[in-house]
Amino acid sequence: MDQATQRYLVEEQLEQYRDGWINRREFIRRAGLLGVAVGIATAMAGTVTPLRRSDVAFAQGTSPYSVPEGDPSVSTDRVSYQSTDGVMVEAYLAWPAGLPMQQSAPGVAVCHENMGLNPHTEDVARRFAKQGYVAIAPDLVSRVGPPTRELPDQSAVMAAYQQLSADQNAYDFLAALDFLKAHPAVDGTKLAATGYCFGGGVIWRLTTIAPELRAAAPFYGSNPPLEDVPNMRAAVFGVYGGLDERLNAGIPELEPALQAAGVTYRIKIYPNSEHGFHSDFRPAYNPVTAPEAWVDTLNWFAQNMGLPAPAV
Q: Do residues 133 and 33 share a domain?
A: no
For residue 233, how many C-alpha atoms fall within 13 Å in the half-sphere facing its CB? 11
Q: Do residues 123 and 255 share a domain?
A: yes
Number of independent structural domains in the chain: 2
Q: Does residue 50 form part of some domain?
A: yes
pTM of the model: 0.92
- 117: CB partners within 8 A, 6+ apart: 90, 91, 92, 137, 138, 139, 140, 141, 142, 147, 148, 149
Q: Do residues 48 and 90 share a domain?
A: no
Residue 51: per-residue pLDDT: 64
Q: Do residues 250 and 280 share a domain?
A: yes
Q: Does residue 64 form part of some domain?
A: no
Q: Do residues 42 and 82 share a domain?
A: no
Q: What is the dihedral of CA 284, 35, 89, 307, to 10 degrees?
A: 40
- 259: CB partners within 8 A, 6+ apart: none
pLDDT at 179 over 90: yes
Residue 98 near residue 104 (C-beta atoms within 8 A): no
Percent of the chain with pLDDT over 90: 77
Average confidence score pLDDT of the chain: 93
Q: Do residues 136 and 270 share a domain?
A: yes
Q: Do residues 127 and 221 share a domain?
A: yes
Q: Does residue 216 form part of some domain?
A: yes
Of the candidates 35, 62, 102, the residue with the CA atom closest to the CA atom of residue 291: 62
Q: Do residues 25 and 94 share a domain?
A: no
Q: Do residues 229 and 94 share a domain?
A: yes
Domain that includes residue 130, residue range: 74-305
Q: Do residues 82 and 213 share a domain?
A: yes
Among 7-11, 42-46, 190-194, 279-283, the range of highest mean pLDDT: 190-194
pLDDT at 282 over 70: yes
The mean per-residue pLDDT over the stretch 227-235 comes to 98
Residue 53: per-residue pLDDT: 46
Query: Which of 28-42, 175-189, 251-265 shows the lowest per-residue confidence on average (mean pLDDT)?
Result: 28-42
Residue 13: per-residue pLDDT: 84
Residue 89: per-residue pLDDT: 98
Residue 16: per-residue pLDDT: 77
Cα 218 to Cα 278: distance, rounded to the nearest angstrom: 12
CATH number of the domain within which 232 lies: 3.40.50.1820
pLDDT tens across 41-68, in order? 899 888 878 765 444 444 455 899 999 9
Q: Do residues 129 and 10 share a domain?
A: no
SS3 190: strand
